[in-house]
A and B are shown apart, each in its own frame.
Chain A
């Protein structure tokens, strides 16, 4: 079963209509045809994925979004592997969602979330490369009047073995582009890979150290104005009135306008002028029905769900209730996890040029087709009059999967036709209008028989569903399967990693008014803390070593066991730690990857944790670029540990209290542990994700080590609420 969220219904409908009903994701193999399609510079497309310029430059089309995770490079590696081109001649470009829709979604899914950029497109992009290679070879063979089977290609050079004749991809590209694509192409055996699996450098680095990389924030168009926006701070509230005259004469101000029911904008020559005027603008809000909601009131509702009778069952076997009722020993603990914001370094923004005839959008988005659909809806124009030009994202982490900022920017530009307008959210707006990591509590109950064997486990989750807000059509009879990430039945991409004879994992759904969204890992983050800290609690209650206790429950989970064993061995589990240093473990299966971490920490004054070292093991099935995977692992720990130690979005009077990094802190280099990655791809038919899975194991490994150091079991987060800090 595949729980990756589908494209939202609206964009699906739009895309289907725009494609003349020809939408068939993954079925229309995206290969070329007899009519040569040309890139903007006139170079021929061999197929949708590959353009070859006369100078042998290979332009690889990347439909997924680059937001730091490195997929742009990894996807290019996969095309280049099969294309057998010279890696040094590879460059990339984004096709636009509008072009894709016009070509019956030739590039498939643009969505980049759920760690799916590579794992969900590896086959068709490799086929794109292989098909182009075959066409290029055929074109050379035709020129030489020899059978293609006598020719081979390597490093962008085609050779006729018998005669020793050679040519290059650039020289035959025009001819190749006119050929019929092969009906089917065989993909290489992974053992023959020379580009996939190599720790190649990213393709997008140089511009990022010279200031020349253009993010959405940096878009400049002739005659462009800038807009600052303010959405009602209380979710569900509306604009009652605003006094535009008070700021109309401020320097640079061009227009004060209402964007939608809940949002006001100021448009000015520069963004700073727009923001200054917006700050000075008197706005009266109708706070709506949620103005009395607080974090405490939300927590009370969730708490009631811990013992509620009604709950959606996510995973069950045996009779957990009976086993717990008859157990010789029972262990129970309640955990809770807060709302958190993404706080991408680049605040949300989009630049729009709207005319009566056309609507063009420049923006960083994780969901290009979603942004396109948002543009169509907000502009009221048809698909052939809209397009979205994706920019490199200054972070995404799930936030840029929701295109609310695109909708706003189009609605603003629509009120000033013919003028390009860049709408930028302030950091404060970004904090107050996130798509927050949902809030969740859990009660875990375990039971042992008289011989200290675990006989039953009940994990009751109580909290918010992302799908109920974002994709309600994807709920399974009301149940949100994503809530159970890492706890799901075997055979899913988020399978529970233990065998317990009597198991019940269920979810009492409560959906406060705070909008939730996907957040790097999302539900694996708290589920890993709940489960893996509780596993330590169970082991300790049974008087058993935490690793050995787990191993006994993992006989049927060999890949979970393999990553756990790998980190245990490398950290030196069972051997003495350095003086004052304590260790903790955790593992999880998420997004079809198996991950584990072992942490070493020391604690001073009972509340200052120094995380010295984390050994991390990742089995993603296939490792397309181990160097980039290492960076994702270490980076995810920064994101995850920042969440563990510092980050909580609290609600007061219906609105978010934190407005910037001074109250929503993020780890700095001084706090960075040494991360040692073990990348151990096991192969097989299923490719796992990389961007998110490892994030979840750092926190429980550190918490388990903290317990070893202090005897204190922390069950609510972030740790700053317990006066515990990172040293």
Chain B
């Protein structure tokens, strides 16, 4: 049994403790906004926040997340109100296929929590997610818009 707190909700999950957090979020908790892209922490599609830190959940054993505060894309909006980042994403029509975008939004949300007015260099260093559709131009514009909202 692993005790997890995901988006403020407690889960006691019967799972092999070495299972990557990503798959527990998707398969046991049933939250499918967090995506599988590579399984080796390269692409960032699986990014969640663990105690506020952007973390690639595909490469973290679930046991390491026990007792910590896990936030997934589904937990960003509060009472149905989207965050500034999500609103900026809609305003700038950022996603194309969208598969990587939840991870992108999570990475950016963590960046803005740490650096509310990031420079382009800050963005380049913090947002290393892969997007095969190539939405980066809109991603950058939306980050600045969210920072200034």
Contact = CB atoms under 8 A, between A and B. Distances in A.
Interface of A: 67-70, 201-202, 204-215, 217-218, 220, 226, 251, 270-273, 276, 342-347, 392-397, 424, 426-427, 627, 631, 634-639, 642, 660-662, 666-670, 672, 674-675
Interface in B90-139: 90, 93-102, 105, 123-125, 127-139
Contacts of A207: 98
Given A344-B132, A637-B134, A669-B124, A211 B102 contact: yes
Q: Do most interface residues of chain A lie in helix, strand or loop, or is the interface mixed?
A: loop
B97 A660 contact: no
B37 interface: yes
Nearest to A670: B124
Given A427-B39, A635-B96, A662-B40, A271 B135 contact: no
Contact of A69 (B89, B96, B105, B127): B96
B97 A634 contact: no
A627 B140 contact: no
A392 B99 CA distance: 9
Given A631-B93, A635-B135, A669-B139, A270 B28 contact: yes
Contacts of A342: 132
B129 A393 contact: no
A424 B134 CA distance: 24
B101 to A, nearest CB: 5
B45 interface: yes
6 contacts: A68-B95, A209-B73, A209-B102, A210-B82, A635-B134, A672-B137
A546 B98 CA distance: 39
Contacts of B16: 251, 273, 276
A213 B32 CA distance: 9
Given A202-B95, A642-B132, A670-B128, 14 more contacts: A68-B97, A201-B93, A204-B98, A208-B98, A209-B94, A211-B72, A345-B131, A393-B97, A394-B97, A427-B37, A634-B134, A638-B134, A662-B42, A669-B136
Interface residues of B, number: 57
Chain A to chain B: the 9 pairs with minimum beta-carbon distance, closest first: A211-B33, A638-B134, A394-B99, A68-B97, A208-B98, A635-B134, A670-B124, A68-B96, A211-B73
A426 B22 CA distance: 14
B32 A214 contact: yes
A211 B32 contact: yes
B34 interface: yes
A670 B98 contact: no
B64 interface: no
Contacts of A662: 40, 42
Contacts of B134: 634-639, 667, 672
Contacts of A396: 97
Nearest to A215: B99
A642 B42 CA distance: 15
B89 A209 contact: yes
B32 A666 contact: no
| Interface-centre pick from A392, A396, A666, A675 (highest chain B CB count, 10 A) | A666
Contacts of A668: 124, 127-130, 136
Contact of B37 (A214, A345, A670): A345
Given A634-B137, A669-B136, A202 B93 contact: yes
A205 B102 contact: no
A107 B123 CA distance: 44
A340 B39 CA distance: 20
A508 to B, nearest CB: 32
A675 B137 contact: yes
Contacts of B136: 634, 638, 667-669, 672
A208 B142 CA distance: 15
B115 to A, nearest CB: 15
A210 B38 contact: no
A345 B82 contact: no
B33 A271 contact: no
A211 B27 contact: no
B86 to A, nearest CB: 5
| Interface-centre pick from A206, A210, A214 (highest chain B CB count, 10 A) | A210
B129 to A, nearest CB: 7
B95 A395 contact: no
Contact of A209 (B105, B123, B124): B105
A674 B137 contact: yes
Contacts of A68: 95-98, 133
Contacts of B100: 345, 394
A395 B93 contact: no
B73 A635 contact: no
B135 to A, nearest CB: 6
Interface in B4-39: 16, 19-20, 23, 27-28, 30-39
A217 B36 contact: yes
B1 interface: no
B27 to A, nearest CB: 4
B32 A345 contact: no
Given A345-B132, A672-B136, A271 B23 contact: yes
B89 A217 contact: no
Contact of B93 (A205, A214, A345, A666): A205
